[in-house]
Structure 1
Amino acid sequence: MVGYVLNRLIGMIIVMFIVATVVFVIVRVTPGDPAAVMLGPDATAADIAALREQLGLNRPMLIQYVAFLEQVARGDLGRSIFLDQTVLSALAQRAEPTFFLTVFAMLIACAIALPVGIMAAWKRGTWTDQLVTAVAMLSASIPSFWLGLLFIQFFSVRMGWFPTSGYGGPGESFAGRMQHLVLPAVTLGIISSALITRFTRTSMIEVLSSDYIRTARAKGVGHMKVLLQHALKNALIPILTVIGLTAAVLISGAVVTETVFGLPGVGNLVVSAVLRRDYPVIQGALLIVAGLYVLLNFIIDMLYLVVDPRVRF
């Protein structure tokens, strides 16, 4: 088991090193002078030279690369050009909406996908199974921005149940801020549930056809006990994998939903940084999102140890 954990930790370090290298290269291969691109066409030669000095772009490429890796290793992601604050503080200020949006969306997705996928596997070949498969494929193909606008039109504009956009004012209570996340979380949850439903169904069908399941049924074990205690437990490995991947995709892919609902999250910050060519923010966001992605995969790998005792050996 120790070797399993060490292999995963070493893999995390290697992946983050590759991501940091790619992020460094992306900025340096941008057409033209990165400093001139960031400052825009109205910048003077003195301003460009000062920014090049500040970002270290006037040094040899290898020295820049080593300095960048040292900076990232210290947890220093640089300073935003337009926000006049460190990238870490800018990301931290926008982290709350994105974090809770991801958590709520995953809870909704799992609450929909797990029971529906299990039911479809249990009713394999019936009209229930076919309906679930069709709805899952339809949900996966719905654009998040279209579904979000539909929810805003009906639940916010027509019914008046939820805010249309934003995250509340500075004095807004926690409950008030969470109310702004209901519609975007449902939007992402419905779309994300499609993939989890299909994997749950496929994994459960494979397990339900196993010999030990037939033996349990022959012994008169109840349907619910067969499903939840015998089948689901042994089908959890691929289900946990797709849940972890979906959570990571939600963190990095909530840009469109945050924009539609006007949420001041990390996705909205990245869009603004791209439009303003604020490369330090883009670099920092890429590194943080990649780090969270790798961390989530590591957590899923550790859950394998709990779910499947064979992994420990």
Structure 2
Amino acid sequence: MPTLIARRLAQLVPTVLLLSVIIFSLQHLLPGDPALVLAGENPDEATLAAIRAQYHLDQPLIVQYLYWLKGVATGDLGESMRHNRPVLDLILLKLPVTLQLAVMGIGIALVVGITAGIISALRQNSAVDYATNIASLAGISVPNFWLGILLILFFSVHLGWLPASGFVSPSEDLGMNLATTIMPAFVLGIGIAGVIMRHTRGAMLQALSSDYVRTARAKGLNERSVVLKHAMRNALTPIITLGALEFGALLSGAVLTEQIFTIPGFGKLIVDAVFTRDYPVVQGVVLVTSLFYIILNLLADIGYILVNPRLRG
């Protein structure tokens, strides 16, 4: 395992460099001049020149990239043009909010999806199997914004059990924190649960029909041991990859859900930055999100080995 981790870490450097080039280049393909946005209405040339000089916008793209890359290497992601604050401070302020939603969402997805997938595989072609497949298809098909609005109408407006919007930090009030995040986390997790359920069902059906499961049953092992120790352990390998990728998607793709529930997370930060041409914030958020994907893939590789010891060789 140490050799695998070292090899994967060695691949991070060229991968991150390539990502940084793509992120920086694509960002500057967006239309509009950030200097005009910052200067306000009817700016004079002197003001525009000062803004461009301050943010190195008057330099060639390669020079701007090298300035940005030097800052990134030292932990400086630049300064927000809109907020006049370090980008890293804004990310550290917003990231815990989205991270909590993502963790809760993927937790709901894994518990519901894996459990339903195993039950569906064990009850193949039964009423339970058909019901779980229909439920998973519904979870995948229902748009997040529509489900979120329905939950607000039912649990907040009709029953009055949960707040309709807003966010309370867990350090202030843990109960209110859970009350404000459970609905958006459910909205984020239920669609992924449908995907995980279908993958788990397929992997379990393949595992249950394999020779090693038939051998385990022939030896007289009880069904619980056969399912949990032999079949499920091998079936979890593709679920690890799927879970890692979906968790990364939750970190970067919770924009609509955060907007519906007025959650001040990563989604609102990136949307505001794009509309205001706040290049440093957009670059910083996309870079951090990309790094999360890379780290999650590394953790998925480690998870393969932990679940399936045969891969250690």
TM-score, L = length of structure 2: 0.94
- 1:2: Cα distance to partner? 3.9
State the Cα distance separating 1:170 from its structure 2 match: 11
Please, which moves more after superposition, 40-49 or 252-261? Answer: 40-49
Q: 1:138 to 1:49 in 2, by over 3 A?
A: same
In the other structure, the counterpart of 1:57 is: 57
Deviation at 1:39, TM superposition (A): 4.4
Alpha-carbon contact 1:28-1:34 (below 8 Å) kept: no
Q: Which residue of 1 aligns with 2:95?
A: 95
Please name the residue that 1:226 is paired with: 226
**What does residue 135 of structure 1 align with?**
135
CA offset at residue 61 of structure 1? 2.7
Quick one: which amino acid aligns to residue 244 of structure 1? A
Retained in 1: the 8 A contact 2:79–2:280?
A: yes
Name the residue aligned to 1:181. 181
1:67 aligned partner: 67
Query: What percent identity do the matched residue pairs reach?
Result: 39
Indicate how the Cα distance of structure 1 residues 304 and 43 shifts in structure 2: closer, same or farther if over 3 A, else same. Answer: farther
Q: Classify 1:227/1:39 alpha carbon distance in 2 versus 1 (closer, same or farther; 3 Å).
A: farther
Match of 1:258 in 2: 258
Q: 1:247-278, CA deviations, whole angstroms, 9 ceiling, x for partnerless residues? A: 11111111110000000111111112122222
Structure 2 segments unaligned to the other structure (5+ residues): none
How far the C-alpha of 1:32 sits from its partner, in A, is: 4.6
Task: Measure how far apart 1:38 and its partner are.
Answer: 5.2
Structure 2 residue matching 1:301: 3-state secondary structure? helix
Structure 1 residues 127 and 197: CA distance shift in structure 2, 3 A = same
How far apart in 1 are the matches of 2:230 and 2:215?
Answer: 11
Give the deviation of 1:171 after TM superposition.
9.1
User: Is the Cα–Cα contact under 8 Å of residues 79 and 85 in structure 2 kept in the other structure?
Assistant: yes
Deviation by residue 1:112-131 (Cα, 9 ceiling, x = unmatched)? 01111011111222232222
Does 156-165 or 299-308 show the bigger shift?
A: 299-308
CA deviations over 1:57-101 (Å, ceiling 9, x no partner): 222332222222212111111111111211110111112221111
Distance in 1 separating the partners of 2:249 and 2:237: 19
Worse-matched range after superposition: 257-266 or 70-79: 70-79
Q: Distance in 1 between matches of 2:66 and 2:169?
A: 42
Paired residues, what number? Answer: 313
Partner Cα distance (1:18, 1:171) in 2: 38
Change (3 A) 1:178 1:238: same
Distance in 2 separating the partners of 1:16 and 1:85: 25
1:29-58 CA-partner distances (Å, limit 9, x unpaired): 233544335545543322321221112122
Aligned to 1:44: 44
Question: Is residue 290 of structure 2 the alignment partner of residue 290 of structure 1?
Answer: yes
Separation of aligned partners in 2, 1:28 and 1:190: 36
Q: Is the 8 A contact 1:305 1:311 kept in 2?
A: yes
The residue that corresponds to 1:149 in the other structure is 149
Q: Which runs of 4+ in 1 moved over 6 A?
A: none
Contact 1:98 1:265 (8 Å CA) reproduced: yes
Q: Does the aligned pair in 1 maintain the 2:37–2:276 contact within 8 Å?
A: no
